[in-house]
Amino acid sequence: MTRIALISFHGCPVVQLGRGYAGGMNVYVLQSARQLGAQGKFVDIYTRRHDSADPEFESIDSNVRVIHVDAGSYSQEKNDLYEYLPDFQKGVLNFQRAWKINYDLVHSHYWLSGCAGTVIAQEWNVPHVVNFHTIAKSKLESRIGEKEPNQRLVSEPQVSNQSDMIVASTQSEKEDLKRFFKLKDSKISVISPGVDLDLFKPINKYDARKSLGFCQKYMVLSVGRIDPIKGLDILIGTMELLSDSVQASLVIVGGDLEKDREIERLKSVAIELGLEGKVFFTGAVDQRELSLYYSAADVLALPSYYESFGLVALEAMACGTPIIASRVGGPKSFIKSGQNGYLVPWHCPEPYAQRLEILFNNPSLLNSMSDAAIRKAKTMGWDKVTNKLIQLYECLILKQ
C-alpha cells in the first residue's frame, strides 16, 4: 500500500473553518486525504497541536489519520511559528520511527510546511511535493500595506528549488511561480482544487432562508477568513450604493465574533455608512451548514485583492449561487464572466453595485447564471483532483 505523509504544520484539517487562519487550505488537505484514502492509499496528516484536548492522533477515515505534534504554544500567531519548525520536524520523525512506518512520498502545504517537509523528505529519502496555496510576493503585489515576514520571502524560493514538484492551483499561479522563483515549466504541475459535490448542492432558496432566519428580498453572501486582503470593506461600501428598491442584505460568514478585531472594524464601517439592519456577521459556521447559506444567497461576492484559488466560490456555485469576484488569481480559472458570474477588474464598490443591480433586476439572467454555475461545479469534484494527484505521486515514486 502506498503511504503518503501530508504536512500541514499550521493548518489542522479538523479545526472549525473561518476562524483564525482556517480556510480553503484546510479543506484541500482534508478532502484530498479522504479521497486518497478511499482509493486505497494510507495517509497520515501531520499538524501541530492547537489545543490541549487534541489527541496524539485520530482517525478520519479507515486509511486516514491526523497526527498532532507539539510545536509552540497553542495561541501562537502563524507568523511566529517558524522557530518551532525543528520541534515539529523532530516530533514527526519520532512518530514515524515509533510506528515503523515507511512513507513513499511527502506532500507539504504552505511555506512553513514546505520548510519542514524538505527536512523530513530528505531524512526519509522520498519525493517531496509542495503546494504553497499563497505566495508572499503575489500577496505583496496585490495590495498596498500587505506585509510578509522576511523568513517567508527567503524560504519560499529555497523550498521551491529543493522540492521534486510544486502543485499550482491555476495556470496564473504557475506563471507567478516561474516568474518569482525562476523555475522550469516541468517543475510545476497545475491541479485545481475540487468541491465536495455530496455536501454542496442546491437547496430550495425559500427553505434555506427560513431555516437561517433571513427574510430580505435579496441576499448577498461573503464566506471565508476575515482579513483585510479579502476586501470586505469594498463589499460593505457596495451595499450603500444599491438603490432602496433592491432591498438587499449582506451576510458575512467567518471569523470570531468575540475576538476578531477586523470584524469590529468592519462593523464600524457599516455603522458609519448607515447600514444597520443590512449587514450581518454570523461568525464561523460548521462547513456542513454552509450549503444552507450558499443556497439562501442570491449571489456570493468575493472582492479579494488576492485569491490563490477561491474555494468558497466553487462551493457556492455547486449550490447554484452565481459569483461576483475580483479578477484576480484563482476565480479567473473557473468563473466565466457573464455566464456563471462576473469578474470585476476594479477594487472599488461601484462596479460590484452595478453588477448586483443587473442581476437583481433580471431574474431570468440570475437563473441562467445559477444553472451555469452548477454545471461548471459538477466538472470539478474532488475525485478528479485526487486522480491527478495519484498520477503525479506514482510518477515521482517510480523515478525515486
- 167-189 pLDDT tens trace: 999 999 999 999 999 999 999 99
Cα separation, 376 vs 397, in Å, equals: 33
DSSP 143: S
Residues in the chain: 400
**pLDDT mean across residues, the chain:** 92
3-state secondary structure of 227: coil
Query: What is the model's pTM?
Result: 0.92
Q: Across residues 93-101, what is the average pLDDT?
A: 96
> What's the pLDDT at 121?
98
Instruction: Give percent above pLDDT 70 in the chain.
Output: 98
| pLDDT over 70 at 21, yes or no | no
For the stretch 371-376, contacts whose Cβ atoms lie closer than 8 Å and that sit 24 or more positions apart, written own/partner, are 371/320, 372/322, 372/336, 372/339, 372/340, 373/316, 373/317, 373/318, 373/320, 373/321, 373/322, 373/323, 373/340, 373/341, 374/202, 374/317, 374/318, 374/319, 374/320, 375/340, 376/317, 376/334, 376/336, 376/340
Domain boundaries, the chain: 3-194+381-399, 205-377
DSSP 229: G
Q: Name which CATH class applies to 205-377.
A: alpha beta
Q: Across residues 377-393, what is the average pLDDT?
A: 94
Beta strands per DSSP E along the chain:
3-7, 42-48, 57-61, 64-69, 105-109, 128-131, 165-168, 188-190, 218-223, 248-253, 279-283, 299-302, 323-326, 341-344
Cα separation, 307 vs 77, in Å, equals: 21
Main-chain phi, psi angles of 66, to 5 degrees: -105, 130
CATH 3.40.50.2000 is held by the domain 3-194+381-399: yes
| pLDDT over 90 at 365, yes or no | yes
| pLDDT over 80 at 22, yes or no | no
Nearest to 112, CA basis, from 139, 85, 90? 85
Q: Are 156 and 181 in contact (CB under 8 A)?
A: yes
Q: Are 350 and 241 in contact (CB under 8 A)?
A: yes
- Give the distance from CA 273 to its chain's centroid: 30
Cα separation, 1 vs 104, in Å, equals: 9
Do 3-194+381-399 and 205-377 have matching folds? yes
Q: Across residues 241-252, what is the average pLDDT?
A: 90
> What's the pLDDT at 294?
97
What confidence tens digit (pLDDT) does each residue in 279-304 have?
999 998 988 899 999 999 999 999 99
Residue with cell 498520477: 391
Cα separation, 44 vs 67, in Å, equals: 7
